Amino acid sequence: MYLEDIKKEAIKEVNEVKSVSEINALKVKYFGKAGLITEELKNLRNVPNDQKAARGAEINAVKKEIEELVNEVEKTLKTRELEDKLMNEQIDVTLDINPSHIGSLHPLSIEINKISNILVNLGFTQVDGPEVELDKYNFEMLNVPSDHPARDMQDTFYITDNILLRSQTSNTQARAMLNLKPPFKVFSPGRVFRNDLDATHIPAFYQIEGMYVEENVSMADLKNVLLQICKAVFGNDTKIRFRSSYFPFTEPSVEVDISCPYCSAKGCNLCKNTKWIEILGAGMVHPNVLEAGGIDSTKYTGYAFGFGLDRVAMLDQKVNDMRHFVDNNIKFLKQFK
Ligand code: DAH
């Protein structure tokens, strides 16, 4: 092909080009490794020496002319493509945006963390137990044999005769006794299950269990530790009182009330004007329980307690219906930060 023809063809083609990608293809066609102009320059070596300079200048002039045209067309095309893009990708500022949501902890998690921190500061170590549990750990080792009337205190979900959904975190006591040597001081937050549903009961709820076994542990130790926990949760003015009660795994057993944190013990709807609210069960570990756990009950004594965590969270975070905790209503959940 003559140089003049290459030039003509190039000018025609470049002027007809419609996109940046087409112009890139032409750059390869003329200036690429095997491009038409490149080939012309390579062929210079076959040109007789006395004509080389003139031929070289001729090719370079054509090359320059095509390059300039290519650059000019490329610039126009790029500007046009950008303008098209801006027109087509216009942002509609009147559109609703999806605001990003910052998550927060569930109020029960907040409460579990709060009480767990308090217990760790009081020297307790966390232990855990399974939610699907053997009857042995949930009842039998806790001095509740299968024919014991105390089984009726908790409406338990059974999976088989032997396997159940734990009805109390007390199963962790049984497991701790088998795994640890006294002295030990453990706590265990977790989910428990009972067949119950109303404003103050849900079938899957939370408890926090505590247990301390050592020589000479007394009821006074129990009262002191519970007072400290309750003050840390509900404020320094909180008072507690023990009411005599019954649990198969403790003797003596008590139910523990706190002075109503809502009305500062003046009397309100929540405490039904009694000024006190029940929040946990506790007592001195029954010798039968210690023995079942392989602990010498003539040498060691211990206390144990179990908080109803949802109850505590309702009081602490001013929630008036326990079912809110499981409704998964975002408006409710977002209030707790
Ligand atoms: N497990 C009892 C319940 O669910 C609460 C409880 C009472 C736990 C006394 C204890 C305890 O550890 O000593 O009602």
Domain CATH code at residue 286: 3.30.930.10
Alpha-carbon torsion, ordered 277, 115, 225, 137, to 10 deg: 90
DSSP three-state, residue 105: coil
Structure-token pair, residue 73: 């067309």
Choose the weakest-confidence range: 40-44, 105-109, 178-182, 252-256. Answer: 40-44
Which pLDDT score, from 0 to 100, does residue 262 have? 83
* Mean pLDDT for the chain overall: 93
Per DSSP, 318 falls in state: T
What is the rounded distance in angstroms from the CA atom of residue 161 to the CA atom of residue 255? 30
Residue 63 lies in a domain: yes
Q: Are residues 40 and 83 in the same domain?
A: yes
* Distant-in-sequence, close-in-space partners of 240: CB < 8 Å, separation ≥ 6: 223, 226, 227, 230, 256, 257, 258, 259
Range ranked top by mean pLDDT from 62-66, 149-153, 245-249: 245-249
Instruction: Decide whether any atom of ligand 1 lies within 6 Å of the 325 Cβ.
Output: no
Q: Are residues 265 and 228 in the same domain?
A: yes
Q: Are residues 143 and 238 in the same domain?
A: yes
Q: Are residues 10 and 42 in the same domain?
A: yes
> pLDDT of 92-141, one tens digit each?
788 777 777 788 899 999 999 999 999 999 999 999 999 999 999 999 99
Residue 251 has pLDDT above 90, yes or no: yes
Choose the weakest-confidence range: 34-43, 144-153, 173-182, 272-281. Answer: 144-153
Q: Are residues 227 and 111 in the same domain?
A: yes
Q: Are residues 239 and 207 in the same domain?
A: yes
Residue 102 lies in a domain: no
Residue 236 has pLDDT above 80, yes or no: yes
Q: Are residues 39 and 157 in the same domain?
A: no
Q: Are residues 28 and 123 in the same domain?
A: no
User: Closest Cα to atom 10, ligand 1: which residue?
Assistant: 305
User: Closest Cα to atom 7, ligand 1: which residue?
Assistant: 281
Query: For 292-305, what is the mean pLDDT?
Result: 98
CA of 57 to the centre of ligand 1 (A): 102
Residue 95 lies in a domain: no
User: Which atom of ligand 1 is least distant from the CA of 207?
Assistant: 4
Q: Are residues 49 and 148 in the same domain?
A: no
What is the rounded distance in angstroms from the CA atom of residue 7 to the CA atom of residue 149? 106
Q: Are residues 43 and 83 in the same domain?
A: yes
Residue of 201, 247, 290 best suited for mutating to test ligand 1, as the one with most atoms within 8 Å of CB? 247
Q: Are residues 206 and 260 in the same domain?
A: yes
> pLDDT of 44-64, one tens digit each?
899 999 999 999 999 999 999
Total of domains in the chain: 2
DSSP three-state, residue 337: coil
pTM for the whole structure: 0.71
Residue 100 lies in a domain: no
Helices (H), the chain: 3-16, 20-31, 36-43, 49-88, 107-121, 135-138, 171-179, 219-234, 287-292, 309-316, 324-327, 330-333
Residue 236 lies in a domain: yes
User: Which atom of ligand 1 is least distant from the CA of 209?
Assistant: 12
For residue 320, name the pLDDT band (cuts at 50, 70, 90): confident
Residue of 151, 170, 225 best suited for mutating to test ligand 1, as the one with most atoms within 8 Å of CB? 170
User: Closest Cα to atom 4, ligand 1: which residue?
Assistant: 168
Residue 49 lies in a domain: yes
User: Closest Cα to atom 3, ligand 1: which residue?
Assistant: 168
Last residue of a domain, one of 26, 58, 89: 89
Domain with 297, as residue range(s), is: 107-334
Residue 186 lies in a domain: yes
Residue 321 has pLDDT above 80, yes or no: yes
Alpha-carbon torsion, ordered 290, 294, 297, 299, to 10 deg: -130
CA distances for 80 relative to 24, 67, 72, 76, 273, angstroms? 16, 20, 13, 6, 80
Instruction: Decide whether any atom of ligand 1 lies within 6 Å of the 209 Cβ.
Output: yes
Instruction: Decide whether any atom of ligand 1 lies within 6 Å of the 282 Cβ.
Output: yes
Q: Are residues 233 and 298 in the same domain?
A: yes
* 205 strand-pairing partners: 192
Residue 94 lies in a domain: no
Instruction: Decide whether any atom of ligand 1 lies within 6 Å of the 171 Cβ.
Output: no
User: Which atom of ligand 1 is least distant from the CA of 249?
Assistant: 13
